[in-house]
Amino acid sequence: MPQRMLKFTSIDTLMPDKRDATARNEDFDEIYQGYSVDGAEEQASRCSQCGIPFCQVHCPVANNIPDWLKLTAEGRLEEAYEISAATNNLPEVCGRICPQDRLCEGNCVLEQSGHGSVTIGSVEKYITDTAWERGWVKPPTPAFELGQSVGIVGAGPAGFAAAEQLRRRGYEIHIYDRYDRAGGLMMYGIPNFKLEKDIIERRANLLTDGGITFHLNFEVGRDASFAELHRRHDAILIATGVYKDRDVQMLGSGLDGIFPAMDYLTASNRKGLGDKVPAFDDGTLDARDRDVLVIGGGDTAMDCVRTAVRQGAKSVRCVYRRDRENMPGSRREVTHAEEEGVEFVWLASPEAYLGDREVTSVRFQRIHLGVPDVTGRQTPEPIEGSSFSIDADLVIKALGFDPEDIPSMFDQPDLEVTRWGTLQVDHRNLMTSMDGVYAAGDIVRGASLVVWAIYDGRLVAEAIHHRLEAEARTEFNTAVPAE
Ligand SMILES: Cc1cc2nc3c(=O)[nH]c(=O)nc-3n(C[C@H](O)[C@H](O)[C@H](O)COP(=O)(O)OP(=O)(O)OC[C@H]3O[C@@H](n4cnc5c(N)ncnc54)[C@H](O)[C@@H]3O)c2cc1C
Ligand code: SF4
């Protein structure tokens, strides 16, 4: 049973009718194709129920994979869904965009023995999509209201997961987000060919149906001070993600035609959502008929090159300073990009952007991988006199993300950060250096994965609940009985 149905093999097959960033074409869709009932059952029945669930151990939310595969194989889909949803607030998202080759599937015993992993992600997607179709997915409506409220800053996966877990327990939940739509990077970072945006909107609507209030276009530090929010709620969760683009300043940095990855991806995602995006419509952020060069080797870089292919770029190249074996991104993503006609240039580091007013090419230096550093990774060392140039009229910098300066943005100098700028939390209770203020997701972990943000959101929800429950008990015990 093929796991996906990518039908094209090179950039030449991407015909003009498919070159619209707004187009939705099934042949063109990375998103795992839905199984038929038979297909899902057949795939799930391949699980050997091996007794040592390496897949589960390597799933960040410890999904009970063998059990839901067994139930799927037996056609007991509702039970399979319930088990899968018990550990994961967004299984339909994880089924689509987890890097399964590094997590569950990469550790499947069948994969290790050369028989090809059970396609766990696709089955997870199938189970959850079926659950949505059949109305088994219910809003997080609590049995009773506790009368305490939690303010969550950030409507990404960490915020979603924490909100749902806390709402189920009966807390009043308010989520504040500076974007106009909920979902964080699931909405505006991850391209829509990997993750359909209506999937995220459907989840946000479910949370609203459960009584959670979203305050969108609401930037904490601009539309309300953090101190005000802190006064408004019994506990606060900061789940703001990491958004500061890493950059290398070099000759020609000010030329037109050079953009950070998030600007490029956000424009494309907004276009796909039907928004007016002047910078896309006037061609500035549209790769159509351009020579695109992406600098970086992570998953964001892969998303950029593959978006450029879909927009109908003349050529798409990705330059990374290490080699294929040392790329931080998923191997599977690289393979897909190559299948789609992206050219990779390994072991090269940018030296200068060239051009008059607009960039026309980028000069690189060849790299030799030297001795491993303290992290065990070989250090890239430039080779003298090895410069070469690559033509490009659209350059996208995908060099990673750092945290914004949250203490300054929130005017809270007491909010402690690590040396990487992520928020410092006490790992025993997930509280920041401020009493009653918690943090979760990328803003604690650094740029990571949706599934880890979900894990963090669930964990921090438990920590907040323990604290608020204890506070309520103390209040009850010390309350003076009415005469
Ligand atoms: C291009 C790209 C592709 C990716 N692809 C994948 C993938 O395929 N698979 C995968 O698992 N992971 C992927 N990731 C990583 C994943 O998206 C993140 O790890 C995850 O979204 C982090 O979740 P979060 O809730 O911590 O933060 P985010 O998703 O970043 O959400 C944070 C939210 O906080 C809001 N916010 C920030 N500051 C404020 C403020 N002051 N006031 C109000 N709101 C604020 C933001 O608007 C945002 O909505 C990708 C990331 C990028 C950038
Ligand atoms: S959540 Fe991710 S790692 Fe876990 S089973 Fe699903 S796809 Fe695999």
Residue nearest to atom 21 of ligand 1 (CA): 185
What pLDDT, on a 0 to 100 scale, did the predictor assign at position 243? 96
User: Is the CB of 350 inside a 6 Å radius of any atom of ligand 1?
Assistant: no
Residue 50 to residues 57, 70, 101, 105, 117, Cα–Cα distance (Å):
13, 12, 19, 14, 13
**Mean pLDDT, rounded, for 262-277:** 97
pTM: 0.92
Q: Which residues in 23-62 are b (16+ Cβ under 10 Å) and which e?
A: eeeeebbbbbbebeeebbbebbebbeeeeebbbbebbbbe
Report which protein residue has its CA nearest ligand 1's atom 52. Answer: 189
* pLDDT for position 114: 85
Q: If you average pLDDT over every residue of the chain, what do you get?
A: 90
Half-sphere exposure of 169 (CA within 13 A, CB side): 19
Residue 34 in this model has a pLDDT that exceeds 90: no
Confidence tier at 480 by pLDDT (50, 70, 90): low
How sure is the predictor about 35, in pLDDT bands with cuts at 50, 70 and 90? low
Q: Which of 101-110, 202-211, 345-354 has the lowest mean pLDDT?
A: 101-110
Pocket test for ligand 2, best of 93, 104, 448 (most atoms within 8 A of CB): 104
CB 292, CB 264: distance < 8 Å: no
Q: State the Cα torsion 278-279-285-289 to the nearest 10°.
A: 60
Structure tokens at 303: 């998303």
The ligand minimizing its distance to the Cα of 412 is 1
Confidence of residue 25 (pLDDT cuts 50, 70, 90): very low
Residue whose CA is at the smallest distance from ligand 2 atom 8? 104
Tokens 């409506």 -> residue = 141
Looking at residue 115, its pLDDT comes to 85
Ligand in closest contact with the CA of 302: 1
Cα atoms in the Cβ-side hemisphere of radius 13 Å centred on 205: 8
pLDDT average, residue stretch 296-318: 96
Does the C-beta of 240 come closer than 6 Å to ligand 1? yes
| Residue of higher predicted confidence among 332 and 196 | 196
Mean pLDDT of 23-43: 59
Q: Give me the pLDDT at residue 332, please.
A: 82
Q: Is 453 in the pocket of ligand 1 (CB under 6 A)?
A: yes
Q: In the structure, what pLDDT confidence band is assigned to residue 374 with cuts at 50, 70 and 90?
A: confident
The finding on whether 97 has its CB within 6 A of some atom of ligand 1 is yes
Mutation choice for ligand 1 from 185, 333, 399, 445, CB with most ligand atoms inside 8 A = 185
Q: For residues 212 and 457, is the Cβ–Cβ distance under 8 A?
A: no
CA distance 70 to 49: 8
Q: Which two tokens stand for residue 138?
A: 């219910």
Q: For ligand 1, what atom is nearest to the CA of residue 223?
A: 42
Report, as an integer, the average pLDDT of 127-151: 97
Of 207-221, 324-338, 361-375, the range with the lowest mean pLDDT is: 324-338
Q: What is the pLDDT of residue 20?
A: 39
Mean pLDDT of 322-331: 85
Q: Is there an atom of ligand 1 within 6 Å of 319 CB?
A: no
Nearest CA to ligand 2 atom 4: 59
Name the token pair of 87.
């550990």
Residue 368 pLDDT greater than 70, yes or no: yes
Q: What is the Cα–Cα distance from 245 to 242, expressed in whole angstroms?
A: 9
> 217-226, 363-372, 469-478 — which one is most confidently predicted on average?
217-226
| Strands annotated E in 99-191 | 149-153, 172-176
- Ligand 1 centre to CA of 67 (Å) is 30
Give the residue-averaged pLDDT of 449-474: 96
Is the pLDDT higher at 380 or at 94? Answer: 94
**Pocket residue to mutate for ligand 2, from 126, 186, 451, most atoms within 8 A of Cβ:** 451
Determine whether the shortest distance from the Cβ of 333 to ligand 2 is under 6 A.
Answer: no
Cα(112)–Cα(101) distance, rounded to whole angstroms?
12
| CA–CA gap between residue 312 and residue 288 (Å, rounded) | 5
